[in-house]
Structure 1
């Protein structure tokens, strides 16, 4: 709304300024031509002033008409007709008014110069039409572009929100199943895990309206998640954090790391006996925040892999929607170690939302 009102205001200012410029220019040209042909000064002043005001009024009519109506490609004859009508109006009205100030014998020169007046007025009004049409076309193009961008932004935000909402049940169902399993054998741990899950979900809900958050907040959220997972897996789950403290003020998409960490725990612990270490390393290189997660895996997991891989694919899609790049998530497997690396650009960006 603000941009639309600003555009209307600037257009009105342009109309007023250009009209008075045309009036002054037309007055100067007509007055010079009349004086050049030895027309008395008083008559030349009246003639030039009246003609300038008439042509300025016709310019206003063109601005007003073309502001609300833009003919199609096969209807430009209407513009030519409009130009001819306004040209005749400007000439006839100016001559009629001029006859009200002077006798017919004093302004006989008008009839001799009538064809030139018609040609000059028509060419001037045609130029005004062309300029106005191009102005309106450009304005319409900009408005359509803004509407398209706003529509695409709304669709992108809706898709991002939907993806974030789909990620939560994936972890929630696993946690609830673990709580159910612990209720009979370890009720105290089931109670503890329930409270931790409540804190985790409460923090998740607070982040729903924020697309980007500081890395320090994301890490605090990860710690809540890991406390829940450690109740599920006990001493088997070990996590090692190697974080460059200078990166804590960097901004990352909300809940972008948790699905990767959940994926690492899933493939690191589910089919492996004994203790498993998940390594998280965070560092920065040339305005790119690197978040690297390593976990061990059994090679036959990939051969007998179950599931759709929604977590990884959703992160890739989300990063593309946010940054317009498809190479910000890289994954590799080597020597029974799976490594996923996120690269988050840290260029100037509005993180208020």
Structure 2
């Protein structure tokens, strides 16, 4: 960061000395012009003292000027640092969001490829659904924060694709009142949690599995709860793929809100529960 250069400090001091000399000479001339000659020796006698006083005054002004400039530079440095941190934060947020798309796209394309031979019509429908989903994703690239209604509409497109992949095995329910549709939250923050619920809820399961998404408002927060069946014994076995981890979601929430307590997970009676708490600011 920029700091004041020594030559600038010397420049201020030299200017102060020059102005002090001019001030002393000018005061001597004016006083000798307006005051009787009998007081001239007194003026000469007090010249050193007046010079010292003038020098101290001008030096004080110079020091104040230097301190003011240093303070101004410090403020500018802080602003530049904050701007730099904001740019880094935005870059990290962008990278976190981009991690989601290749993973989901890879899975969807694999499903389409698998369907082409067995069910071409279903493969074509899934291709159109994937196109609609990605088009909606591109529209949201410039919007870090969107409404709950927009987020749920986008989530439904995602679930349509997943239902093609998993067929009768996947059943989902979304409950939310229209009163909170205008609540705001980070774009595409629910999808990775639902993807995580599908991944673990349907792992090694042939029966129908229900993924529930519940949205409500409480105490100035938008609360979103995602639940899925969770078999502790099955989940302890190694699985392929890493997906978009909960730690990435936690990191994104921290970058946006500066808090580490906005995503909670727990297991109750073989049900895995993820809870998002999104602060609502006026």
Normalised by the length of structure 1, the TM-score is 0.73
- Quote the residue 2:6 is aligned against: 71
Moved more, 163-172 or 80-89: 80-89
- Quote the residue 1:263 is aligned against: 196
Equivalents in 2 of 1:126, 1:304: separation in Å?
Answer: 77
CA deviation digits over 1:297-339, x for unaligned, max 9?
2223331143446431110000000000011111112221111
Choose between structure 1 and 2: higher helix proportion: 1
User: Alpha carbons of 1:176 and 1:76: their partners in 2 closer, same or farther (altered >3 Å)?
Assistant: closer
Structure 1 gaps of 5+ residues are: 1-67, 349-353
> Given the alignment of the two structures, is residue 288 of structure 1 paired with residue 221 of structure 2, yes or no?
yes
Q: Secondary structure of the equivalent of 2:72?
A: helix
> Given the alignment of the two structures, is residue 203 of structure 1 paired with residue 136 of structure 2, yes or no?
yes
The answer on whether the counterparts of 1:70 and 1:133 sit within 8 Å (CA) in structure 2 is: no
Query: After the TM superposition, which residues 110-259 of structure 1 pair with which residues of structure 2 at under 5 Å, given as runs?
Result: 110-259=43-192
User: Alpha carbons of 1:86 and 1:70: their partners in 2 closer, same or farther (altered >3 Å)?
Assistant: farther
The answer on whether the counterparts of 2:115 and 2:122 sit within 8 Å (CA) in structure 1 is: yes
Equivalents in 2 of 1:136, 1:84: separation in Å?
Answer: 19
User: Alpha carbons of 1:301 and 1:96: their partners in 2 closer, same or farther (altered >3 Å)?
Assistant: farther
CA deviation digits over 1:234-273, x for unaligned, max 9?
2221111121322111000010000001111111113211
The answer on whether the counterparts of 2:212 and 2:227 sit within 8 Å (CA) in structure 1 is: yes
The answer on whether the counterparts of 1:316 and 1:329 sit within 8 Å (CA) in structure 2 is: yes
Q: Secondary structure of the equivalent of 2:134?
A: helix
Q: Secondary structure of the equivalent of 1:131?
A: helix
Equivalents in 1 of 2:50, 2:165: separation in Å?
Answer: 93
Q: Secondary structure of the equivalent of 1:120?
A: helix
Q: 1:340 aligns with which of 251, 274, 277?
A: 274
Equivalents in 2 of 1:77, 1:243: separation in Å?
Answer: 68
Equivalents in 1 of 2:95, 2:49: separation in Å?
Answer: 69
Equivalents in 2 of 1:102, 1:281: separation in Å?
Answer: 91
Equivalents in 2 of 1:161, 1:285: separation in Å?
Answer: 29
Normalised by the length of structure 2, the TM-score is 0.90
Q: 2:255 aligns with which of 321, 337, 347?
A: 321
User: Alpha carbons of 1:158 and 1:77: their partners in 2 closer, same or farther (altered >3 Å)?
Assistant: closer
Moved more, 266-275 or 215-224: 266-275
Compare CA radii of gyration and give the structure with the larger one: 1
Structure 2 gaps of 5+ residues are: none
User: Alpha carbons of 1:242 and 1:116: their partners in 2 closer, same or farther (altered >3 Å)?
Assistant: same
The answer on whether the counterparts of 1:272 and 1:297 sit within 8 Å (CA) in structure 2 is: no
Question: RMSD of the TM alignment (CA)?
Answer: 2.5
Query: After the TM superposition, which residues 7-86 of structure 1 pair with which residues of structure 2 at under 5 Å, given as runs?
Result: 71=6, 83-86=16-19
User: Alpha carbons of 1:69 and 1:281: their partners in 2 closer, same or farther (altered >3 Å)?
Assistant: closer
The answer on whether the counterparts of 2:148 and 2:181 sit within 8 Å (CA) in structure 1 is: yes
Offset at 1:79?
6.6
Offset at 1:76?
7.6
Equivalents in 1 of 2:124, 2:11: separation in Å?
Answer: 80
Q: Secondary structure of the equivalent of 1:117?
A: helix
User: Alpha carbons of 1:91 and 1:292: their partners in 2 closer, same or farther (altered >3 Å)?
Assistant: same
